[in-house]
């Protein structure tokens, strides 16, 4: 298992490095370079621009620039915002908690709602309740997140005036954005939980548990749910980066002062160092979550572990 | 059961029929947008700005007094075109890479699989944002960005299918009579995967449309006065209080279109590849 974890981590590190290469490559494709963004070529003489370019190392070959940039990155040096001059690390650190607050709250809420619903739907499978749960969550599933956000804002903030419309004015501001992030993906998790529970219910060890006289509730919670939740737990880790990705758009509807809002403003201002910094943050988060997801699935389910070890880690 | 024609089987599949009807409705609206729209989508009528749905303007007007009905109808054309182009591009990239990875194996497989992992190490919408930053905001750039980040699913699926088909007798026979690798991949293996490609393509359409609309909504895709649903929603958000209808109708169009393709895709999956059904 340790061997597998180490190998998985290695692949994770490789992936992050590849992402930095891709990001650096994309940014190299920009017409002109960083100087163009801060110095107006009409007002500053070309010799001065050349001098600046040399000072910033922009006259060096791309791979030299890349390793220089990567070196700084490893020391936590993400550069400075072209627009405000603030350190990118500081800027992101000031916004990250807001995004994590949204993402983690809605993930927790999501699973707190979806798992019981999926279990109930499976146990009562074929009933009206099962049908109702599946239909309702499927409807939310097909509503685009950002439009659901607008609708909820219209209903709860504009019409009923229960919550602030936008910005961050205390915890009540969180309600509508969290609902927007929680409701659409419910369908997927409810279906996954339902399918896994239905699979497990048919297993022979569950029959044994029933046969030895355990109560229904005890069988469902201790034997069925525990096994059915393995893929659901893995999905939790694999899903977290997607919630952060979703938050990038949702934050902009509600003017939520998180990383997504910062990313959007930086893109609009072509503030490359900030965009790069946020992308790397999200890439690292995603890779870490994927590794944790893989390792957790191996820990929880010996069959997966054995299969992975036999397949040579990949 | 045995002599059931494909058409009869299709008509017996409720999801497929419902999806096909919805898809046809969107297709007709998009094709005849000029005839169906009561006015030009960019004709302003400032005295009637932000008027609610009524006899003159069935769905109301926006901040410049433009007819929302006409704008939503023309938006269908953009959504459909965007969806089809993005899905075509991403499937061509993904299918080709999947074929190569699955057929050759070894290093080609490792490199392509790693590239797939890398595109999956960022949420697609975030990676697309990075590309749009560089290319600048426009609908074409958003389409390029979305297609460039979402071929991974096709590559993975076709790779697995190719690995399965590689050692079947008909492929070995083709190799034995001296068909080139290219010919084996594209003339023997590819046709056997067209079913799953169609299913995956149809099921990816809503995602492609929703992602481009979301980016247009953020102001990074289509630009005003385009009747792109994302642009209408973006402007509508500013007048949510006085004119909620501007924010409601384009979204309904979006949900209707997405629903149609989802039903159609799931119906197709049942018809073409019953094994895929989980």
3-state secondary structure chain A: CHHHHHHHHHHHHHHHHHHHHHHHHHHHCCCCCHHHHHCCCCCCCHHHHHHHHHHCCCCCCHHHHHHHHHHHHHCCCCCECCCCCCEHHHHHHHHHHHHHHHHHHHHHHHHHHHHHHHHHHHHCCCCHHHHHHHHHHHHHHCCCHHHHHHHHHHHHHHHCCCCCCCCCCCHHHHHHHHHHHHCCCHHHHHHHHHHHHHHHHCCHHHHHHHHCCCCHHHHHHHHHHHHHHHHHHHHHHHHHHHHHHHHHHHHHHCCCCCHHHHHHHHHHCCCHHHHHHHHHHHHHHHHHHHHHHHHHHHHHCHHHHHHHHHCCCC
B123 vs A244, A264, A275: nearest CB: A244
Across the interface, whether the CB atoms of B117 and A11 are under 8 A apart is answered yes
Mean pLDDT of A48-64: 75
Which chain B residue has the Cα nearest residue A243? B123
Q: Is the pLDDT of residue A26 over 60?
A: yes
> Distance between CA atoms of A302 and A304, rounded to whole angstroms?
5
Averaged pLDDT of chain A: 82
Which chain B residue has the Cα nearest residue A266? B133
Which letter does DSSP use for residue B70 in this model?
A: H
B221-242 pLDDT, tens digit each: 898 889 999 999 998 888 888 8
Distance from CA of B15 to the nearest CA of A (A): 14
pLDDT of residue B278: 43
Residues A270, A10: contact at Cβ < 8 Å?
no
Residues B206, B257: contact at Cβ < 8 Å?
yes
Residues B261, B19: contact at Cβ < 8 Å?
yes
Which chain B residue has the Cα nearest residue A157? B241
Say how many CA atoms lie within 13 Å of A236 toward its Cβ: 21
User: What are the residues facing A80 on neighbouring strands?
Assistant: A87
pLDDT of residue B212: 92
User: What are the residues facing A87 on neighbouring strands?
Assistant: A80
Q: Is the pLDDT of residue A52 over 80?
A: no
pLDDT of residue A241: 81
Q: Is the pLDDT of residue A196 over 50?
A: yes
Across the interface, whether the CB atoms of B118 and A142 are under 8 A apart is answered no
Residues A144, B213: contact at Cβ < 8 Å?
yes
Q: Which residues lie closer than 8 Å to A129 by C-beta, 6 or more apart?
A: A120, A121
Q: Between A and B, how many CB-CB pairs are < 8 A?
A: 110
CA-nearest of B162, B155, B153, B163 to B191 is: B162
Which chain B residue has the Cα nearest residue A264? B218
Residues A220, A203: contact at Cβ < 8 Å?
no
| Mutation to test the A interface, candidates B79, B101, B123, most A Cβ within 10 Å | B123
Across the interface, whether the CB atoms of B134 and A29 are under 8 A apart is answered yes
The parts of chain B modelled with pLDDT lower than 70 are: 1-4, 273-278
B213: which chain A residues are within 8 Å (Cβ-Cβ)? Answer: 144
Strand, helix or coil for residue B61: strand
A144: which chain B residues are within 8 Å (Cβ-Cβ)? Answer: 210, 213-214, 251, 254-255, 258
A161-179 pLDDT, tens digit each: 888 878 787 888 888 999 9
Q: Is the pLDDT of residue A309 over 80?
A: no
Is the CA virtual torsion A164, A168, A170, A173 positive or negative? positive
Q: Tell me which residue has tokens 């926006």.
A: B62
Distance from CA of B1 to the nearest CA of A (A): 26
pLDDT over 70, % of chain A:
92
Distance from CA of B257 to the nearest CA of A (A): 10
A143 vs B117, B220, B255: nearest CB: B255
User: What are the residues facing B67 on neighbouring strands?
Assistant: B61
pLDDT of residue A39: 64
Angle formed by the axes of helices A145-152 and B229-238, nearest 10°: 20
pLDDT of residue A24: 82
CA distances from A193 to A114, A302, A311, B148 (A): 8, 20, 27, 32
Across the interface, whether the CB atoms of A286 and B220 are under 8 A apart is answered no
pTM recorded for the entire structure: 0.84
């Amino acid at each position: 298992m340790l061997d597998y974890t180490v190998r998985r981590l290695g692949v994770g590190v490789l992936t992050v490095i590849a992402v930095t290469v891709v990001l650096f490559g994309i940014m190299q494709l920009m017409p002109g370079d960083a100087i163009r963004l801060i110095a107006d070529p009409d007002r500053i003489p070309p010799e001065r621009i050349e001098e600046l370019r040399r000072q910033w190392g922009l006259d060096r070959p791309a791979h030299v620039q890349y390793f220089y940039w990567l070196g700084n990155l490893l020391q936590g040096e993400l550069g400075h915002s072209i627009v405000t001059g603030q350190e990118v690390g500081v800027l992101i650190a000031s916004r990250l908690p807001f995004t994590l607050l949204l993402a983690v709250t809605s993930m927790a809420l999501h699973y707190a709602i979806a798992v019981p619903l999926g279990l109930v739907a499976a146990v009562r499978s074929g009933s009206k309740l099962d049908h109702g749960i599946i239909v309702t969550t499927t409807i939310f599933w097909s509503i685009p997140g950002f439009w659901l956000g607008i609708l909820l804002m219209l209903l709860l903030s504009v019409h009923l005036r229960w919550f602030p419309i936008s910005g961050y004015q205390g915890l009540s501001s969180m309600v509508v954005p969290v609902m927007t992030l929680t409701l659409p993906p419910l369908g997927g998790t409810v279906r996954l939980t339902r399918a896994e529970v239905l699979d497990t219910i048919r297993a022979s060890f569950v029959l044994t548990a029933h046969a030895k006289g355990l109560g229904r509730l005890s069988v469902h919670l201790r034997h069925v749910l525990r096994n059915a939740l393995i893929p659901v737990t893995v999905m939790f880790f694999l899903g977290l980066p997607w919630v952060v990705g979703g938050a990038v758009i949702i934050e902009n509807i509600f003017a939520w002062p998180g990383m997504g809002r910062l990313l959007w403003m930086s893109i609009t201002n072509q503030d490359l160092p900030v965009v790069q910094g946020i992308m790397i943050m999200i890439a690292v988060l995603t890779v870490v979550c994927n590794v944790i997801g893989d390792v957790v699935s191996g820990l929880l389910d010996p069959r997966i572990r054995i299969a992975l070890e036999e397949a040579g880690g990949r | 059961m045995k002599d059931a024609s494909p058409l009869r089987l299709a008509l017996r599949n409720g999801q497929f029929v419902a999806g096909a009807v919805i898809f046809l409705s969107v297709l007709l609206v998009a094709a005849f947008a000029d005839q169906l729209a009561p006015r030009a989508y960019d004709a302003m009528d400032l005295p009637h700005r932000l008027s609610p749905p009524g006899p003159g303007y069935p769905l109301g007007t926006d901040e410049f007094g433009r007819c929302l009905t006409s704008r939503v109808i023309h938006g269908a054309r953009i959504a459909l075109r965007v969806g089809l182009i993005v899905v075509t591009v991403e499937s061509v990239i993904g299918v080709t890479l999947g074929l190569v990875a699955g057929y050759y194996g070894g290093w080609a497989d490792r490199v392509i699989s790693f590239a797939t992992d890398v595109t999956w190490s960022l949420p697609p919408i975030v990676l697309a944002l990075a590309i749009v930053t560089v290319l600048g905001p426009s609908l074409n750039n958003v389409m390029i960005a979305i297609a460039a980040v979402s071929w991974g699913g096709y590559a993975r699926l076709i790779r697995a299918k190719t690995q399965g088909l590689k050692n079947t007798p008909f492929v070995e026979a083709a190799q034995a009579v001296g068909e080139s690798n290219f010919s084996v991949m594209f003339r023997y293996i590819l046709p056997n995967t067209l079913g799953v490609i169609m299913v995956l393509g149809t099921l990816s359409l809503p995602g492609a449309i929703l992602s481009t609309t979301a980016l247009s909504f953020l102001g990074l895709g289509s630009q005003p006065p385009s009747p792109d649903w994302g642009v209408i929603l973006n402007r509508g958000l500013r007048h949510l209080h006085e004119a909620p209808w501007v924010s409601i109708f384009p979204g309904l169009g979006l949900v209707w279109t997405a629903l149609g393709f989802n039903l159609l895709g799931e119906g197709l999956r049942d018809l073409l590849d019953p094994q895929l059904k989980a």
